[in-house]
Amino acid sequence: MVNRLGLALTFLALGTASGLADDLKVETPRVATLSPTMQRVYVADAALPHMVDGRIYLLDGADMSLKGMFEAGFAGMMLAAPDKHRLYVATTFYERLTRGKRSDVIQVFDDQSLKVVDEIPLPSRRAQALSYRSLFQSSSDGKLLLLQNATPATSVMAVDPSSKRQLEIASPGCYGIYPAMTRALRFATLCGDGTAGTITIAANLKSSERKTGAKVFDPDGDPLFIHAERDGDTYVFLSFKGKLVRMSVEGETAAVTETLDMAAGTSDWAPGGYQPFAVDAKAGVAYVLMHSGASNGSHKNPSAEIWAYDLRNKRLAARSPVTGLTSLTLAASDPTTLFAINLVDSKIVRLGIDSQTRGIKPTGEIKLGETAALIEAPR
């Protein structure tokens, strides 16, 4: 039967070939390939209305076209490692799609073929949370993956992707992972009492030490978003009321080295979103999603404007009216390009930055996604 069908299809194909228009020719199906130099944009979408089907979209930032997808399961989180040509996706699968035994894994994708090339089993304690950058990180030397757990008691899983060895590091009351830049085995985490824990992992991955310093933020009066941006060997954090807080996590305890009040004198405006800002470390500029009418509970509101704040001269450089954005990232390969998630209109947008004025304008978009939260443009 199958042979007969195959034969029939062959005849059909030959028959059709003879009647082709001049500018058409017989084709065979093929698989598209990715340009190795493509401006990659990754978008993590939890697909909330059908959560078992989370996905990560791969876009070409040059024309904002969709180039492929990675499966992200239930509440999956992504971490791109472009130097290794890998995309790591930590996620949950259930034996019967929505029920049955829970399996948590890190799926290791090849970033050219988009296929799973390895899988690292995890204990079922990872945070089934929206994909925030600070919940899935790698150590600064790229050798360890650091993943947030929550049961809801919190801990961090340090994973060696080569050997698949793991160490669970208790971090009760703390959340978020901020790897030290000069100490590959060290990371910091924000804690609910306003301190930051600093964890140093033993080289043999068998133990860790934790130290806690003085308070670094006010979780009641002006909490910090858990998204943070790297700037040299420091992190820049952002508070709900619009303070940019520079923190060093290199030492045995974390320390705030600078606080800049970006929204001073504009009390009605505040940052908002899931990934509410990006920093151009080379130029020393922070780009922040801002909304007016700020109030208790508005910290995830979409943007009305993007503010460009000059971190070196400590002044607001530009305010650009760009609405509906909830997540923002700077292209690693081009400091004049931002990519963002517009949740209001369910689209992904590209934005151009005027390097003189720091004004920002949309330059491209694609209608895509349902509940996307994290966007990265790592190369």
Partner 1 sequence: MSEIKFTKLLEAFDRVAETAARRSAQTIGRRSALSAIGKLLVGGAILPVLPFDRSGSARADTAHGAGEADCEYWRYCALDGFLCSCCGGSISACPPGTEPSKVTWVGTCHNPQDGKDYLISYNDCCGKTTCGRCLCNGNVGERPGYRMGIHNDINWCMANTQSMYHCTVSVIVGVAEGK
Q: Which residues bind partner 1 (CB under 8 A)?
A: 46, 48-52, 74-75, 92, 94, 97-99, 102, 127-130, 132, 148, 150-152, 154, 173-176, 189-192, 219, 223-226, 272, 274, 291, 293, 295-302, 324, 326, 343-346, 370-373
Name 332's Cβ contacts closer than 8 Å, sequence gap at least 6: 377, 378, 379
Based on CB atoms, which residue is closest to partner 1, 121 or 293?
Answer: 293
- Please identify, using beta-carbon distances, which residue of 102 and 314 lies nearer to partner 1: 102
Burial class (CB in 10 A: 0-12, 13-18, 19+), 28: exposed
> Is the distance from CB of 308 to CB of 320 less than 8 angstroms?
yes
Q: How far apart are the C-alpha atoms of 277 and 279, rounded to whole Å? A: 7
Query: Shortest CA distance to 131 belongs to which of 190, 161, 89?
Result: 89
The one-character DSSP state at 50 is G
* Strand pairing category for 174-179 and 186-191: antiparallel
What whole-number distance in Å separates Cα of residue 329 and Cα of residue 282?
A: 15
Measured from the CB of residue 312, what is the shortest distance to partner 1 in angstroms? 28
Q: Pick the closer one to partner 1 by CB: 290 or 317.
A: 290
The answer to whether the CB of 136 falls within 8 A of the CB of 79 is: yes
SS3 15: helix
Quote the least distance from Cβ 127 to partner 1, whole Å: 6
Closest CB to partner 1 among 26 and 153? Answer: 153
**Closest CB 1 distance from partner 1, rounded Å:** 37
- Shortest distance (Å) from residue 168 CB to partner 1: 16
Which strands make up the sheet holding 65-81, listed edge to edge? 116-122, 102-110, 86-94, 65-81, 54-60, 40-45, 372-376
Q: Considering the complex, what minimum distance in angstroms separates the CB of residue 368 from partner 1?
A: 13
**268/334 with CB nearer partner 1:** 268
d(CA 69, CA 67): 7
Nearer to partner 1, 81 or 129 (CB): 129
Burial of 199 (0-12, 13-18, 19+ CB in 10 A): buried
CB of 99 to partner 1, least distance (A): 6
Burial classification of residue 375, based on how many CB atoms lie within 10 Å of its CB (0-12 exposed, 13-18 middle, 19 or more buried):
buried
Cβ 239 to partner 1 shortest distance, Å: 11
At its nearest, how many Å lie between partner 1 and the CB of residue 356? 31
Q: Give the span between the Cα atoms of 271 and 344, in whole angstroms.
A: 16
The pairing of strands 174-179 and 166-170 is unpaired
- Beta carbon nearer to partner 1, 128 or 137: 128
Report, in Å, the least distance between residue 65 CB and partner 1.
Answer: 22
Tell me, letter by letter, the H, E, C secondary structure of 17-47. Answer: HHCCCCCCCCCCCCCCCCCCCCCEEEEEECC
Q: For partner 1, which is the closer residue by CB, 30 or 99?
A: 99
Q: Which is nearer to partner 1, 161 or 217 (CB)?
A: 217
d(CA 261, CA 20): 67
Between residues 46 and 167, which has the closer beta carbon with respect to partner 1? 46
Supply the minimum distance, in Å, between the C-beta of residue 331 and partner 1.
Answer: 22
